[in-house]
Structure 1
Amino acid sequence: MVRNKVRTSVAASLKDGLAWAGMSGFVEPYIVPFALALGASNPAIGFLRSAPPLAASVAQLFNESMVRRLGSCRSAVRLDVLAQAASLFAAAAAVFLPAGAAFLCLAAAMTVYTTAGNLAGPPWAALMGEYIPPRKRGAFFGFRNQIVGVTFFAASLIAARVLNFYPGLWAFSGLFAAAGIFRLLSFHYIGRMYEPVSGFHLPPAASGPAARPDDAALRPFLASVFAVMFSAFLAAPYFSVYLLKDLGYGYLPYMVIMTAGQLVTYLLMRRWGTIADAYGSVRVLRLAFLGIPLIPLLWALAPSFAWLVCVEIFSGVVWAAYGMGTNNFIYELAGGHSRTRYNAMFGFTACLGQFAGALTGGLLYNYLPGEAFMTLLFISAALRAAAIIPFLRRVSQTALPGAAKPGFLLAAIGFRSIDIYPAAAPAARDGARRRDLR
């Protein structure tokens, strides 16, 4: 029966999330440390963090046509996941090469890794939209992200311990190879996900923009997303350099600082998801856009370990709101056949902003007065503050659901319960049981 297939698919998506978290925990916090261990310079770090988003943004232009040609979102996701696993094995093999060639191998592998991962997102989102009822989406994805977040933190901690006990390139190689195995597990679980034969979720044959009344809200949203990603990635590649080289932290305190915010983000996504379900994604995004500029300013106040952990906890709260706000906003705008296109446009814009920001930061880093990293933080904060302007001025709260419901701020700070929150825990089970498809 279809219900059983959907139930199996939701369970498989949770297992895929766990495998993804294991992979990501072994890789994401340690890309820059791996490059530093290979002898990469600051400009090389800027290139490492800018080239992959550029490739990913260009690839997104062809993502919808690739899904249409394959005729299956699931097949497209599995192909991307397989490419991502192969890239991790290639990165692990970089240690066998001479220093200069090793860095180029790592950079090329991370470009494929980032590109394939970003390409997998839109068709995966389109497929998941067929399983989860609209009023449960924020709760379910938040619940899934909680599980993913705890696993990610555990994997990052294990990786830090490995690097502490076995410092050197071989430890990085082993971690990246293990991450590739985790991604192969994802490939297996995604293969168990059901794809409706109706094809309603697939991109339409026409290649022109979808004529939807809510498209006017999409343009300022994407403008703000680009501005946020540009300003964030202006300094993002150098947080690792600042902690490991400037402050001299070991891998364990480095891991705690770099993953504390991500853990909080994942843990609070369920809460923010239910708030977005109840009060609308526009309100959640506005609050997130207001909090994002504060993060680099707080980083600049003090270099102490305890303070930076607290800053990252605050950062996790804000980015959780941003993540679930953008997720729900796109689902609210896009119909079933438009999900791949809208998510691809979002991915293209975000990756382009990341590339432009990282490239600009890399070009500026060695020429900034005073402490270059601190100067980048202040520039980043100013640009983040400006990022809200397109969204604030041109996206109306009444354009999407939840705008008129009172009590949003009380719910956001935890002093008000959310009507649908008690139902969030069994969200995966309820999403499989009900066939409320768009």
Structure 2
Amino acid sequence: MNIKLGRSGNPVPARKGLSVHRKNLYMATWEGVPSTIFQVLLQGQFLTGFLLYLGATSGQIGFVLAITTLANIGQIAVAFFIQKLPSRKWALVTFIGLHRVLWISTGLIPLLLPQSYWVAAFILLYSVAAFFGTAGGVLWSSVIGDLVPARVRGRYFGIRNTLLNALGSLAMFGGGILLDRYPGGHGFLILYIVVWVFALSNVVIFFFYPDVEFEKSEENRFWPMFKKPLNDAGFMRSTLFLAAWLLLQNLVIPLYSYVMLELLDINYKTLSLLNVTQTVCMMAGFYFWGNLNARHSNKKLLFWTLPVIALSSLTWGLLSALPMLAVLLAAHMIYGIGIGGFNQLAFNYMIGDTPKKERPMYMAVYSSLTGLAAFFGPLVGGQIYEWIKDWPHWTQVYGMQLVVGGFMIVLMAAVGRRVLLRER
């Protein structure tokens, strides 16, 4: 048997395999691969396009886009419920599995039901799936917060988000080409077959997730546990401001696909290219904001993502003077840089700037308040588009974006500076 000796003549220990932490990080990254692919192919432009194929109006599309955010209110109950669980793993597998199966089952609606029931059946299935998705989201956030060591958290999520968004860009582009080549029901049938494969693969991978030890809250009753984040004045001020911001933002941004598909008559391939460009800029945003995060606080950087997001809405006004595709490309690039930072910093704020033992309830309160605001955003936005459908064409194409972008700037300057910058 050969034994390797060091310079001192002492044996050098043989290299062991990957550490437990590193194996867990690899597992969490690989789990994101099928999850990203199937969710990209069921969200955004594909969700809007499928709803238009089913016969949904702009108001119904706005309602569907808002359902997942409204379901976030249920996170408060889930945050209390998981404190009673002996193990988070199998509850996570159960809720994630139900969410995936119900969501991908929406693709069966045109095959099984008369056309008059298509939209109603989609809304019902999608709503129930959103509830299970909310429960699974709380559990996953709780697990991943314990799974990823704090010292590598920023770097890990930056790398993970970059890789998965690159993969999502390829899936988005491929899905757009598919729907352009096979328009209507044929294209969506093929799309859903692909989605079924990746969604079920995602559920299988969760069976191999580690059952991480859970540090539970010191409270065992609901009301005292619920009051802890409510009594945290700094946390509540930040949360209420961000909820107001998301209400404004979601009046227009979730409906971009509707405007481009229905009002600007852009094909799926072009729309996919715009969204891929946005995703690439999000990836650049992860790197940019992640580096700044090493020197500045989450809340301070959150504030500086806001003018970038507002600028993306205001950029739509250039459609009055410049070529359409150039303006849309610029708007998507700016939004990608802004929203990439916003999402990553908001997540880091929730799992890094909140008490570990009370983190599930903190996250639930944040998600519920911001989710309620984000619910009314696309709902009201979709209704406004119905109200102004007889107005001049420019008011529907970029008028809404200009008005909302202006209000964003006012809210940021009047309230955001006090809440996110001056507060200690």
**Aligned counterpart for 2:145 among listed residues 129, 138, 145:** 129
**Aligned counterpart for 1:59 among listed residues 63, 74, 79:** 74
**1:394 corresponds to 2:419:** yes
Q: Shift of residue 62 of structure 1? A: 1.4
The answer to whether the 8 A contact 2:314-2:406 is kept is: no
Q: Shift of residue 337 of structure 1? A: 1.8
- Quick one: distance in 2 between partners of 1:91 and 1:390? 41
The equivalent of 1:356 in structure 2 is 376
The answer to whether the 8 A contact 2:229-2:236 is kept is: no
Write the letter of the residue equivalent to 1:138.
G
Which shifted more, 199-208 or 234-243? 199-208
Superposed counterparts of 1:315-394, under 5 Å:
315-368=335-388, 369-370=391-392, 371-388=395-412, 389-394=414-419
Relative to structure 1, is the Cα distance of residues 7 and 38 closer, same or farther in structure 2, using a 3 angstrom cutoff? same
Q: Shift of residue 284 of structure 1? A: 1.0
Residue-pair matches, total: 397
- TM-score by structure 2 length? 0.86
For 1:129, what is the secondary structure of its paired residue?
A: helix
Superposed counterparts of 1:14-53, under 5 Å:
14-29=29-44, 30-53=46-69
**1:285 corresponds to 2:285:** no
Q: Shift of residue 222 of structure 1? A: 1.0
Write the letter of the residue equivalent to 2:352.
E
Unaligned runs of 5+ in 2: 1-15
**1:114 corresponds to 2:130:** yes
The answer to whether the 8 A contact 2:234-2:423 is kept is: no
Superposed counterparts of 1:138-177, under 5 Å:
138-177=154-193
Superposed counterparts of 1:227-306, under 5 Å:
227-302=244-319, 304-306=324-326
For 1:244, what is the secondary structure of its paired residue?
A: helix
Deviations 1:267-309 (A, max 9, x none): 4314422422332212211101222211111022126113211
Which shifted more, 202-211 or 114-123? 202-211
Q: Shift of residue 231 of structure 1? A: 1.0
- Quick one: distance in 1 between partners of 2:382 and 2:130? 19
Q: Shift of residue 202 of structure 1? A: 6.6
For 1:130, what is the secondary structure of its paired residue?
A: helix
The equivalent of 2:105 in structure 1 is 90
Write the letter of the residue equivalent to 2:122.
L
Write the letter of the residue equivalent to 1:152.
G
- Quick one: distance in 1 between partners of 2:244 and 2:192? 32
- Quick one: distance in 2 between partners of 1:191 and 1:202? 26
Deviations 1:360-417 (A, max 9, x none): 1223223234323433212321332244344421345673xxxxxxxxxxxxxxxxxx
The equivalent of 2:6 in structure 1 is none
**Aligned counterpart for 1:222 among listed residues 222, 239, 243:** 239
- Quick one: distance in 2 between partners of 1:253 and 1:225? 32
Write the letter of the residue equivalent to 2:104.
F
Relative to structure 1, is the Cα distance of residues 112 and 271 closer, same or farther in structure 2, using a 3 angstrom cutoff? farther
Write the letter of the residue equivalent to 1:393.
R
Write the letter of the residue equivalent to 1:171.
G
For 1:174, what is the secondary structure of its paired residue?
A: helix
Taking only aligned residues, the RMSD between alpha carbons, in angstroms, comes to 2.6
Relative to structure 1, is the Cα distance of residues 167 and 229 closer, same or farther in structure 2, using a 3 angstrom cutoff? same
The answer to whether the 8 A contact 1:140-1:270 is kept is: no
- TM-score by structure 1 length? 0.83
Write the letter of the residue equivalent to 1:62.
A
The answer to whether the 8 A contact 2:83-2:217 is kept is: yes
The answer to whether the 8 A contact 2:303-2:420 is kept is: no
The answer to whether the 8 A contact 2:308-2:334 is kept is: no
- Quick one: distance in 2 between partners of 1:212 and 1:250? 46
Question: Which structure: larger Rg?
Answer: 2
